[in-house]
Structure 1
């Protein structure tokens, strides 16, 4: 008996990267007895991803236009459109290894989990000349746990890019992505938090590998600082809008953020004095993460995602 799997790829004005993402899915080895549909959810107002799907001949590709801007709208539309027993999310700036689907299948069978999150390896447009190890680790997803390990307790270190869900178990009861995160990001972390609260389990699948394209600007120090601060803000905001037990964690995270900023400030000063310029820059980036946890209020009102490209 053939099982259907659905790969959902939300996209927004990135035709070249989308083409690479779709092609990697089409050429990936499929587990025995698995058929595939690729659902491209175009979140642009103009529907410009239709041309990419048309060029690739459709076939297993199903094009869906979701003109309401926002990450949550796009992911929810993909969830609603998917027909497979397993739903996989791949971002449009990612491409999968040849054995990605086979390794997802193995991890599901071995772990018995409801949700899987796999390894992400950065694919730099230009290899960073400074802080190479730090910048690589910044974008690499490696939770440093054994294959099949439960990672439900470290939601902040996983994400929806390269994730797989038992669709009926996870979404059959009406759980969807919180639309308050449409333009702020971290909508996937909040989704995982909701699923875990519902009793579902997330496992680590390190052999299911995808590569994320990192353009030059996203390896700059200014971008890394802004992103680390945003990550801190996202984590606390997600707790602040949760239930009473989640809200109680807000002051704890804020205090932790203050301690993080203070510690890295001290380490930054030591690095400056010792002439370790790159290490000082790394600590300066981590200071921003701590400050984000402290100064998080109001940040969610900024429109960070969903802007049209210049």
Structure 2
């Protein structure tokens, strides 16, 4: 009998996107049962189980007021009852073979954590692609063609992750309550990098694809700089824990050479991302150097 799969989503200001995710889950070619665990991170409850009952999937809804993205996902993971836990976003549209590809990799590949590709499309104005300097902030910037370990674990996306459930499941680093109301701080990079550093097998699955429609509010200067700043702080923290040569010095990069990026909106956003990520890394580096070094947090891998 195929394993029960729990799909965890954190919902904040993207409730209208949920029906498309539910339809994509109903179209999965996976032979086993699937349940949805939706974490309502609004200040006041917005989601109800009855509002999602039309999906014909078992649905669990929990309210976690003003929780950041990592905290909301952790709440959903703790409530998940499936043998396999998959993490994605309400704005995601998994390919029909997504669940099957992730489950197969976890059951037969021996990985502690599997990561799928996130294909991004900007919805307004319609655009099929983003500069690579921005793509790493909302999707998968570089992707292999065969399964293997990630070359750049800090580019792993929390919109497409999976692991085996256990009494002590994998958890993301949490931000203080109320500090990430925009859901722009994803703990997937820290999780993947730390697992890899501890000798755990983290595997990328090229065939496990999730499509994301990125709304205009996610590609404004403010949103891009917020995500890039966060990426810079993540790399500063990883540089303190991992060998220095394993973490890139430049979190973001300019597209198409040093000058041409100025003449497009995407290029200018990429330039802003470069400045914000570098500033975030420097500020976090100074903050860490001024604070006493703490023992490295141990991530307990979920084993089936």
TM-score range, shorter chain: 0.7 to 0.9
- Give the corresponding residue for 1:179: 174
Bigger shift: residues 126-135 or 64-73:
126-135
Alignment partners' CA distance in 2, 1:28 and 1:87: 15
- Give the corresponding residue for 1:304: none
Contact 1:175 1:195 in 2 (8 A): no
Alignment partners' CA distance in 2, 1:69 and 1:276: 37
Alignment partners' CA distance in 2, 1:20 and 1:130: 19
Bigger shift: residues 56-65 or 9-18:
56-65
- Give the corresponding residue for 2:297: none
- Give the corresponding residue for 2:263: 277
Task: Flag structure 2 segments of 5+ consecutive residues without an equivalent.
Answer: 289-304
Task: Flag structure 1 segments of 5+ consecutive residues without an equivalent.
Answer: 300-310
Q: TM-score, normalised by structure 2?
A: 0.75
**Pair 1:101-2:89 in alignment:** no
1:141 CA displacement: 0.8
Summarize deviations over 1:183-203 as a string: whole Å, max 9, x none.
352322223344345542111
Contact 1:6 1:83 in 2 (8 A): yes
Alignment partners' CA distance in 2, 1:16 and 1:136: 24
Bigger shift: residues 9-18 or 106-115:
106-115
The 5 Å alignment of 1:177-256 reads 177-180=172-175, 183=179, 185-221=185-221, 223-237=223-237, 239=239, 245-246=241-242, 249=244, 256=249
**Pair 1:286-2:274 in alignment:** yes
Q: TM-score, normalised by structure 1?
A: 0.74
SS in 2 for 1:75: helix
Task: Flag the structure with larger Rg.
Answer: 1
Contact 1:42 1:49 in 2 (8 A): yes
Contact 2:118 2:157 in 1 (8 A): no
Q: 1:37 to 1:55 in 2, by over 3 A?
A: closer
Alignment partners' CA distance in 1, 2:88 and 2:45: 19
Summarize deviations over 1:87-145 as a string: whole Å, max 9, x none.
00011221211221122234335633121111111122124679855477444415332
Alignment partners' CA distance in 2, 1:71 and 1:36: 22
Number of residue equivalences:
278
Alignment partners' CA distance in 1, 2:130 and 2:57: 40
- Give the corresponding residue for 1:69: 67
- Give the corresponding residue for 1:119: 117
Alignment partners' CA distance in 2, 1:149 and 1:108: 13
Alignment partners' CA distance in 1, 2:165 and 2:278: 36
Contact 1:128 1:135 in 2 (8 A): no
